[in-house]
A = this chain, B = another copy of it.
Amino acid sequence: MSSISRRSTIVEVARLAGASKTSVSRYFGEERDRLSPSLQARIAHAAGTLGYQPNQMARGLKGGRSKLIGMLVADIRNPFSVAITHGVEQACRQYGYSLVVCNTDNDPEQERQHLDLLGAYQVEGLVVNASGNPERQLHTFISLGTPIVLLDREVDHVEAEVVGLDNHLAIDMALKYLAGQGYQAVLYVSEAPEQSSTRQRRLSRFHQAAEQRGLHNATLLLAAPNGTAAQQTLSDFLAAHQQHACAVLCGNGTATLAVTRLFQQLGLTLGKVGLMGIDELDWCALVSPGITTLAQPTDAISKTAVECLMHRIAPHTSAMPTTVSFAPSLIERGSTQR
């Protein structure tokens, strides 16, 4: 019944085709054209009957060509990350690479472990959405010649392409829009910035830009999701600015989710108190009257990230931009209609 057979190897194909290992190897590699049509046919037939498939492990060993791309994701459950991962995988496949996705759950220790692991599998490129600051290990990759692309978040002292949203612009767009809608006081809600350059950047730009526009402003950092501190901060903010039209701007999808819950708990009316979020989510249209968002072009971001990588994997290595930033698009809904 379950007669544990083995996967057939290149030698078996060679024997059956009456050819040499080398020829078979050529057939499955880049040099198929160098083989005469008759030899090609014989090999194709032999491989077909045997159900042969080259062993990637063995391939990777000699040439270092694992055909593997590694990806580090800070939080796979975040919708933005899901979209990005999906895009990166697709793009990789188009280039003939497979993707190994590692989720770090925002834990620097796991991040380190995963990086070691990806190294052990000889990935040919790395897409990193960092949790911490794995300088050391990224430098190892760099000195090994493995291209790295930083996705959404930068890592201190690591020079590599950074692909992501134009955070500066995003905040500006949001504030401009909110101000235009007549809101005079804005509370910015973000998860704790910690190591995330993106969160830091959005946060600091918010401060700056809000001041420039003469908006009343404050920020709320989400700590433990269960804490009642957030609720307190929000109602305090509203109380302090009773005489002004208030709005809340959320730094990412998680924040939007948390704040929407808060609104509900406090019985706030969307629109009367404005609400706007960075990152478009499935349900933003459903919570009536809809939540206004700045959508990130996730497909473009992931496609670009992979392109950068491929560009540098090929012995092409021309100079490349250090940063590629995309503009978000505004999706207007009822939550910012007073």
A residues sitting closer than 8 Å to B (CB atoms) are 2-7, 51, 53-58, 60-61, 66, 76-77, 82-83, 85-86, 89-90, 98-103, 116-117, 119-122, 140, 142-145, 257, 260-261, 264, 281-283, 285-288
A-B contact pairs, 18 of them (CB 8 A): A2-B143, A3-B143, A4-B145, A7-B119, A51-B140, A56-B120, A57-B66, A61-B61, A76-B86, A76-B89, A89-B103, A98-B117, A100-B101, A260-B286, A261-B286, A264-B285, A283-B286, A287-B287
Knowing A86-B103, A101-B99, A144-B5, say if A122 contacts B286 (CB, 8 Å): no
A4 partner, pick from B90, B144, B281, beta carbons under 8 A: B144
Tell me, rounded to whole Å, the shortest Cβ–Cβ distance linking A202 to chain B: 22
Tell me, rounded to whole Å, the shortest Cβ–Cβ distance linking A3 to chain B: 7
Cα-based distance from A117 to B260 in the complex (angstroms): 43
Residues of B within 8 A of A7 (CB): 119, 144
Q: Are A282 and B257 in contact (CB under 8 A)?
A: yes
Cα-based distance from A5 to B271 in the complex (angstroms): 58
Q: Are B286 and A143 in contact (CB under 8 A)?
A: no
A6 partner, pick from B4, B53, B83, B144, beta carbons under 8 A: B144
Q: Are B77 and A82 in contact (CB under 8 A)?
A: yes
Knowing A77-B83, A86-B76, A101-B99, say if A57 contacts B122 (CB, 8 Å): yes
Q: Which residue of B lies closest to A110 (CB)?
A: B93
Q: Which residue of B lies closest to A263 (CB)?
A: B286
Cα-based distance from A61 to B119 in the complex (angstroms): 17
Residues of B within 8 A of A116 (CB): 53
A142 partner, pick from B2, B58, B82, B264, beta carbons under 8 A: B2
Cα-based distance from A29 to B118 in the complex (angstroms): 18
Q: Are A121 and B144 in contact (CB under 8 A)?
A: no
Tell me, rounded to whole Å, the shortest Cβ–Cβ distance linking A245 to chain B: 23
Quick one: which of A3, A82, A120, A144 has the most chain B CB within 10 A?
Answer: A120
Cα-based distance from A260 to B51 in the complex (angstroms): 48
Cα-based distance from A286 to B288 in the complex (angstroms): 10
